[in-house]
Structure 1
Amino acid sequence: MHTDNGFKAEAINNYIVNWLRDYATNAKVKGFVVGISGGIDSALTSTLCAQTGLPTLCLEMPIHQAHSHVQRAKEHIAQLKANYSNVSEIETDLTPVFETFRKQVPESENEHLNNLTLANTRARLRMTTLYYFAGINNALVAGTGNKVEDFGVGFYTKYGDGGVDISPIADLMKSEVRALAKNIGVPQNIIEAKPTDGLFGDDRTDEDQLGASYEELEWAMLEVEKGAQADSFTGRKKEVFNIYIRLNTINQHKMRPIPVCEIPENLK
């Protein structure tokens, strides 16, 4: 199937599935573990993993999770299990773990920093849980980040949802994720749901946090790749372009390898 813009959904679908299968085989692991949020990225990633025929564990890890997110996640997993016999599911309620952690650490006087750090803590608790289940199942943790999140604006938690073994959809723009999800049969309510990281215990969306939609940020990312400058644009386009540049700049520490202080040979 080709989408209207020439995106070769079927061919790309098959390519990713073969890539996943080959990688797992070469790594001598049995399958995959995927955290399911109720969003389109995790729905697509888990479906691609399931299509390999290898054991795919869908893990729900609620921490004060919104009911709508939980329901979408459950609907998706139920559909996957109905279509693929190699899919299993586990729900691990991390709310008590999170609350215990929160009681053991001091609160910052800066409410914004406190809330942001606790949100990142949620993501890191989930990463720890994913790796526990990957360890006992001899499996790989499959990341769910797309290209705009991972290499554009760095919209993920370092050592949280950024802590993965493989990233099957990280070379796909958000529009391509939607096209592939539609082609692969992801439930329509998940495709249409407003993207959210669900880390703050409220209904704020990714767009609320970023200041721009993924469609806008995708446009800005492509313009930067063409060599465009902010003064090429006016109005909302200029605003979005500057948002992209700011986020891309401050989040470079997530995208680059960890800096290593290399000691000169004459000092050793």
Structure 2
Amino acid sequence: MTNSNSFNAEKINQHIVKWLLDYATNAKVKGFVVGISGGIDSALTSTLCAQTGLPTLCVEMPIHQAESHVNRANEHINQLKSRFSNVTNERADLTPVFETFKHQVTSSENEAVLNLSLANVRARLRMTTLYYFAGIHGLLVTGTGNKIEDFGVGFFTKYGDGGVDLSPIADLMKSEVRLLAKYLHVPESILKAKPTDGLFGDDRSDEDQIGANYEELEWAMLESEKGKTEDDFSGRQATVFSIYTRLNTINQHKMIPIPVCIIPKILKQI
């Protein structure tokens, strides 16, 4: 976990905002669109985008969403609009779209597999919606994934919340996200909320799904980078390291470029 005394929030804040502004300027786009979930990652990302001074569109996209998530999302959007005149918002209720989709495809008797597949559908419907708004307004779809999610355990949906144009906080650990979010005055209700992907229509947390919290996963990621193995630990540490290693392995397909079958030149010769 990052030590707050060694974390230069002011400089990191300035660095990310400049990076966002430079990227948008070079890409010749008007600004950014961010999906707002009521969680800390999207709250931080949208605040950083707002600081650029460029148009920042916050989009709430409920699908049978838990009321607590909706309330936190609205609290953040209202706070951000009061602080930055360049922030606007849209609400796209995707519940009817999701229900229509479910009735147009075959189901599965394996409830766990079905629920996970439908959870990923939610994320992909939201990605499609963000790109719709990006297209009509000339904006960049801005990713909200952090380092442990995107490059540690792969805790995101491929072509869902992983389908973005740029990722401003993907080099920040979850603990660093919290420090920067606190520095930028993200609402207290969001800072204190348990992390959740909000893909199941209830209040289950990321820890409930993964089996370890982000502080533990950060530790495991750092130990893995040192070349440690599960045999180096015992008890809870061994359990957490095993969880991290398993997820990092099975989710590599999300973290590496799409495999391309390269055809030998000699086979293409006429």
TM-score, normalised relative to structure 1:
0.98
Any idea what SS the aligned residue of 2:4 has? coil
1:118 counterpart residue number: 118
Q: Offset of 1:4 from its aligned partner? A: 3.4
Identity %: 76
2:158 counterpart residue number: 158
Q: Offset of 1:175 from its aligned partner? A: 0.3
Tell me how far apart the structure 1 counterparts of residues 37 and 72 of structure 2 sit (CA, whole Å).
8
Letter in 2 for 1:181: A
Q: Give 1:117-156 correspondences, 5 Å limit.
A: 117-156=117-156
Write the deviation string for residues 148-202 of structure 1: whole angstroms up to 9, x where unpaired: 0000000000000000000000000000000000000001110110000110112
Letter in 1 for 2:152: G
1:262 counterpart residue number: 262
Q: How many residues align?
A: 267
2:183 counterpart residue number: 183
Letter in 2 for 1:267: L
Q: Offset of 1:215 from its aligned partner? A: 0.6
1:21 counterpart residue number: 21
1:168 counterpart residue number: 168
The answer as to 2:63 corresponding to 1:63 is yes
Letter in 2 for 1:237: Q
Tell me how far apart the structure 1 counterparts of residues 222 and 9 of structure 2 sit (CA, whole Å).
20
Tell me how far apart the structure 2 counterparts of residues 197 and 6 of structure 1 sit (CA, whole Å).
29
Write the deviation string for residues 71-98 of structure 1: whole angstroms up to 9, x where unpaired: 0000000000000000000000000000
Q: What 5-or-longer segments of structure 2 have no aligned partner? A: none
Letter in 2 for 1:184: L
TM-score, normalised relative to structure 2:
0.98
CA contact (8 A) 2:4 2:179 kept: no
**4+ runs deviating over 4 angstroms:** none
Q: What 5-or-longer segments of structure 1 have no aligned partner? A: none
1:102 counterpart residue number: 102
CA contact (8 A) 2:59 2:90 kept: yes
Q: Offset of 1:204 from its aligned partner? A: 1.0
